[in-house]
Structure 1
Amino acid sequence: MLNTRAVQILKKLYTEDDYISVHDLAEFTKSSSRSVRYNLQKIDSFLRKNRLSPLQRHHLKGVKIDKEEKTVNFLAEYFRKENPYKRIFSKDEMKLFIVLNLLIHQKEIPISFFEITLNASRTAIINFLAEIKTPLEEKGLKLNWVKRKGVFLTGDENRRILEFANLFCERLSMNEFYNYMELGKTSTGEGGLVFRHVFNKEDLQYIRGLILFLENELGCTYDDRSFLILTVYFTRLINRSTDPTGLNGNLIPHRPVNRQIDRISFILLEKLKERHPEIIADEKEVAYLTSIILSMKTVKANRKRPGNFSELADKLIGKVEEACQIRFREQTSELKKLLLQHIEPMINRIRFNITLENPLFDEIVQKHRRLFLTVKAICQEIGAEYDVAINDHEISYLTIYFAAMMEKIPRNEDLPKILVVCIEGVAISKYLAMSVTKLFNIKHVDTLPVREIHPSVVENYDLVISTVDLPDIDKKKVVRINSIVTREDVEKLKARLHLNFNKRTQNHVAKVERLVHVIQESCEIKDIYKLQYDLLVELLDDQEKEQYQQEKRYRLEFSQDEIRIGEKARTWKEAIYLGAKPLLEKGYIKETYAEKIIQNLEDYGPYMSIAPKVLLSHAGPDDGVNENSMSVLTLEKGIDFHDRFAVPVFVIITLALKETKGYLNLTEKIIRLANQQHTVDRIIRSANKRDVYHLIAKHLHLN
């Protein structure tokens, strides 16, 4: 049996008429020459087994296939067949498949299962397991190996379920998952492989019925992530039934829980027990399921859920109005409804130690820092009164609701009606809608999870804005954009429905047209549309920039001496130290500064990754800063920080500031630079400190 790399090599040889060197094949497969020679032997055996001529070899030129008619016809038919080699999975896809299987299953999984399913060698699987071990341990999950049996995970059940949901939502299509769950449809790609081996199709359909029963009992609709979490819980429960140790006692709440939810939890477990009699549906399991149900997020509530948090929502709204000196007036009822929808499950998540991460946390804190800090201070005050400690991710969700209401503009009934579809749930959907309304007048905006999207629903809207693919919906009505609206997204929206900019933006558009005309008279413009949008973005940001214009400019120690090119680092910690080293050598920082950066990354995750391939390494003014300074490090090989961009980091900008005044202004410039991919690629490719310095200094206006 040929492995995936051998199939890659065979296909390459099949498409070429001349010899190919072992070195070129190693470059093509991103492997070693030794691995290529091993796979060439496998191909020879495969060809002989099928009574074909082996590969032709030349000691200088390399290898090639004997292109006799019999061989060509056989291989053409072989590649056309529906076989496990038709879809060759990447390294990241195979690692994801292994991790999801370990998270969902309870018993040991034999290495041979991964070998056969992924069509990979035992050595490759063992290497993948070694790579995922540390990231899992950082999540509190331990990878165990039992000789002659296989591998399995141990650790906190909540973390296990949430990690599965996070990875699944980040990497796979929920729309494909719903099609598989409801209709049995599956793709030949990464999603199809996971669905077939992680879930039992019959169990999935039964679990779907349980969740729909739950939603009907509570009069609510769960968002996509919560729906998945409940699905994973029931799947894990079935898998856990083979383990007599059961649940970790720490997961069970110590204080009384809601009796109505207790009753529904008991009914759900009894229903599942009818299909799987081996399940243990005791009080401990009922309490655990209740804690999960109470912690899930909804996108729609048809009637009031158990519990009364109206007073808490009123206090939160009142204190935000007081702190920000605003009045929500007619928007108060809508805001309160959104807050109540979030607050009850939030309180229960805190009670049951379930952490819900906001995928746009860094963007929210960056764009609405003052509002975030205001809401955080109020939450700390109210939290002390209600005996709950509200974490920053939950606060960022609350911030989204307030920001959306603050940015809301009067609606004109003659303007388009829009539906926002977002897998992350109602908070991110509202944030997305808010971003769009900054540029356009919109008649009406509704939000729905992916699983409720149906052609009959879409008929009521002029446009569907989605952050995921919707293959079953009329493409003429759907615009696929990013969660954070980019210039390209604005262009898509403007072209699709010929939307008009809002009044404030329209004034800027007129100004941009005049500026472009002036520029055209003096020089040639290579891309007039890119220039127009760049100018528009700059003008839209003027209001925020005005608050920084009066700030005193400070001295920033940054020169070619603080730049390191093409350094090597084995770990992310070593990369952080290498980035800080030039500043330490000049005495601009103390050793404690780099240590604090590492501690922050360990405590809060890779929030310092500000763009693909770029990390802004920094700590606070009191963490060992002697002079305002900055350094830039480029890495020969990227380091994986396991951030939301899912690509290795090649550029580390270390920023040390002795004072906070002007900090946001400088950070904004650095983030803008980091998000210009062509500029970042130039920095990575550059072998000259001087070029890197002038490129960065120009963008940060340091000269």
Structure 2
Amino acid sequence: MLNISKKGQINLLVSILAEGKKYKTVADLEAKMGLSRRSVFYWLKQVNATLKSLDLDDVQRLSQGGYFLTQSTLDELQQHDQSETQPLLNVAERRQMIIWYLVQQDAHLSLVNLSERLNVSKNTIIKDLRALPPLLPADTEIINTSHGKALAGSEVMQRRWVYRQLAQQNLLIIHKIQKLPHIQMLTERLTQLQADTGNYYTGDAAQTLIWYIAWLLNRLQMADRALTTVNNYPLDRFSQWCEDLLSRYGRVTPGEVGSLRELLLAGQLQQVNDDDRFAKELLMTTQKVARRFSSVSGIDMVTDKFLEALATHLYSTYFRIKYNVQYHHANLTDVKLEYSYLMNLTKYALQPFEEFLHAPVSSDELALIAVYFGGEVKRLSPDWLESEKQPDVILVCTSGVGTSLLLYQQLSARYPNISFSQPVSLEEFQKIDLTQGAPKLVLTTAKLQEPVDVPTLWVQAIPTSSDFQRLSQEFRQLGLLDNSQETKLVHAVLDIITDYARVDDFNGLTASLRDYFQKTPLETTAVQNSRPSLADLITPERIQIATEELDWQAAVHESLVPLQIDGTVQPMYADRIVGITLAKGPYMMIKDGVMLAHAKPEDGVNSLGMSLLLLKQPTTLVAQGQSRQLAVVFGLAPVDRDAHVHALSQLLALLQDAGLYAELQTADRPEDIYKILERAIQLPS
């Protein structure tokens, strides 16, 4: 918590304004402070008076009613930050932290100790403790000891509680665990396990396992925490991996090996070893499931691609249910309500799987599988063939379901006035009568086996900027795109932007650019000036020069250290960027040697910011079988789709100026680099 006054409400209010999303409404402040609207306004005045005494800017107010602190004030307030000892938590977060302390077996958890740790009164702690029983790990209870409160009961359930918090991205607990040793070692070992077994986890599942095992190894340093129960398990690559790891860093018992092996098998996979005997058996069951769904839905779901994808999902589901590794996600509640009809179809279809499993599928797992079926139903929907408006472009894909839908979404968002078909396979495409509806173009990621009477254009599954340039040109020639000067300019700018950065919302960006070009020069200038420049975001304190040799993952983490220190991003943000790169390849390389390291705002961004790391010893980025040299890392923390656009345009200008970029590469001091950034903002962008 920030500490700028002897009055707690002032410290609380300024801390709320400084945390999380940049703009806070009065309703936000009322909820966080537990005060009336009138009281909130009173304390806003008191905060402004205190800020004035510190020679800082007042609390700013948007015309729409949002309140925020200026960046200069936020920077100055860092010296008043006591968040490590006095975290600002809401009720749910505070109760989660109490359970965390109990699970950790922290000594002396008295009312006084907890109230001091959590910066609340003893009465508040008493209320929290009364509300905790339904939230505790299963088969546990809080007991009183001579040293305070303690948690008694199942060690396995306490561990599963920690695992579930990590899987659900509890940032408070992730922050605690990220400080533990062995993270890098575990990352390397888990990567090797995946290569050895041929089973590859999703990025989130791998990260959850790494964090959990780091915590587990630390817990096993406590003499009485090891599982002593007998756990019969087969001698396979997973158990051998567990035995080796625990013998080196923890304690080896049958209970420990078996328990860790269960979690490894329950982790969500994105690829399964086809030669795995169990996977082959499961694929046969999956075929029965798909046929049952087809029989009650009237949609043919029995395609090789879908069967492989669903079997991969059910592989993890099988072990989650078998070993009671509960899956839960808040959004699934909405799925159960909105897609109740699909839930029923899915439940019917899953009967062969439940027989194979010898157990029922939980409602949460059922909802997750229903979403999976729903996505395939939408992908295979023949509605576009039957609708009055036939597609302008038929999309033929051979990549995975996820990549195909991503390509469809990119094209639909970037070209909203063009009608694209849902992605179809080569086999499905051959069944389409092209004389019906007369599409103007066939867009394909594969080579068609036979020529067709419709113009055909090949594109990569994940298009590059040159691909989009070819597409725009083709669409204009076919009359699918407006040839007005304004539209040409919008798409020209989009083509330039995608040369240097990933754009997830082309529809929104297109609309913003069109609005921009429609404004008068006077209005345009005002809009530009309202956005921070490259030099505003990359201040000297956010510039680093690394003289020692770093691998690419360490370089990404190092580049974001200044943004972590000043609170712009959370520690998990760098991990998320590394995970995305490992999963999707080096698409963040915006120029030879230059990486724009970024993720989404919800991945751990608190406020807008950028950083720069110059590597005097360039390294190599290797991901998804692709290799790129890396010499400069620009860290970007976006808060929306608009605020950083002006700075990025200046960054593009810098990278396109060969002389200025060469100066940046040879600079020896952060001050020199900052001067280069100042010169860059004068370049036409």
TM-score of the pair, normalised by structure 1: 0.45
The TM-score with structure 2 as length reference comes to 0.46
